[in-house]
Amino acid sequence: MIECREISVTYPGSQTKALQAVNLTFTKGEFICVLGKSGAGKSTFIRCLNGLQIPTEGEVIYSDQSLNKLSEAELRPIRQRTGMIFQQFNLIPRLSVMQNVLTGLFGSRPSFKNLTGLFTKDEKSAARNAIRSVGLNGFENRRVEQLSGGQKQRVGIARALVQQPAVMLGDEPVASLDPGTANQIFTLLRNMHDDLGLLTIINVHDLQLAKKYADRVIALKDGKVIFNGLPEMFGDREYEETYGDE
Ligand SMILES: Nc1ncnc2c1ncn2[C@@H]1O[C@H](COP(=O)(O)OP(=O)(O)OP(=O)(O)O)[C@@H](O)[C@H]1O
């Protein structure tokens, strides 16, 4: 479904590669966690998967299309089917839960419609269903700034869900949450993944979460893949290699 062929990223003005010749293949139905210490290249990697970052070398193939070769207009439907959740939630704090979730539909509508802020009955109903499925029934009109971190991430997930994603990407989505809430969010993501048959790829700092929820673990170090396999094969030696003296 997604294939990374020898992708490398060098940021302008930087001497080092943030990603170095990464070769990986991802299939529908897989739930994958990407581990690595700060600066290992996890965010850069996730951003390459939906065309937010175009590799300086190599290419990402998404359902037989090379992302390098697509125009912004051609990338749009791919991004629309790719839900993305973030560490800092990337919500609009002063707007309601409902209004934030509806922004997930922006990519599928003509821009002039987004300027009006008007949504159809069906769109509102889809947003309400997404809000219900993340456990926030009754919070539709609550302003996001009044919610806890875990509730905010649920709104982020509902916004991704309303896009009817085939792929769900997460860039450290639980890094700002306490361990109990982080587990609840991962349980929600895993259930959603199983129900909808998604491909889910999530950056996470916490090895225990990766071991508990992932089908496959990938570890990055200095932009290189140093582990790619079953969570139970990621042992002390792999931990030491990934995190070193952290
Ligand atoms: N916009 C940028 N310009 C220049 N260098 C960058 C940029 N973004 C990231 N880097 C560098 O690329 C490398 C990989 O960064 P990246 O953010 O992908 O790592 P990460 O594993 O996600 O780290 P963290 O967990 O701290 O977010 C780091 O050395 C970082 O300093």
DSSP string, 214-236: -SEEEEEETTEEEEEE-GGG--H
Single pTM value for the model: 0.94
> pLDDT per position in the chain (246 positions), as tens?
999 999 999 999 998 999 999 999 999 999 999 999 999 999 999 999 988 899 999 999 998 899 988 888 888 888 889 999 999 999 999 999 999 999 998 777 666 676 677 778 999 999 999 999 999 999 999 999 999 999 999 999 999 999 999 999 999 999 999 999 999 999 999 999 999 999 999 999 899 999 999 999 999 999 999 999 999 999 999 999 999 866
Q: Say whether the ipTM exceeds 0.85.
A: yes
What is the best residue among 44, 176, 204 to mutate for testing ligand 1's pocket, by most ligand atoms within 8 Å of CB? 44
Ligand 1 centroid to Cα of residue 38, in Å, is: 8
Question: Which residues have any ligand 1 atom within 6 Å of their CB?
Answer: 11, 14, 18, 36, 38-44
Give the 3-state secondary structure of residue 171: strand
Q: Alpha helices, DSSP H only, in 117-225?
A: 121-133, 149-161, 179-196, 207-213
Structural domain 2-243, CATH architecture: 3-Layer(aba) Sandwich (3.40)
Kindly provide the b/e burial profile for residues 36-68, where b requires at least 16 CB atoms within 10 angstroms of the residue's own CB. bbeebbbbbbbbbbbbbbbbeebbbebeeeebe
Question: How far, in Å, is the centroid of ligand 1 from the Cα of 44?
Answer: 6
d(CA 186, CA 91): 19
Listed by start position, the domains of the chain span 2-243
The single-letter DSSP state of residue 40 is: S
Beta-carbon contacts of 241 under 8 Å, excluding residues fewer than 6 positions away, are 219, 221, 226, 227
**Ligand 1 centroid, distance to 43 Cα (angstroms):** 7
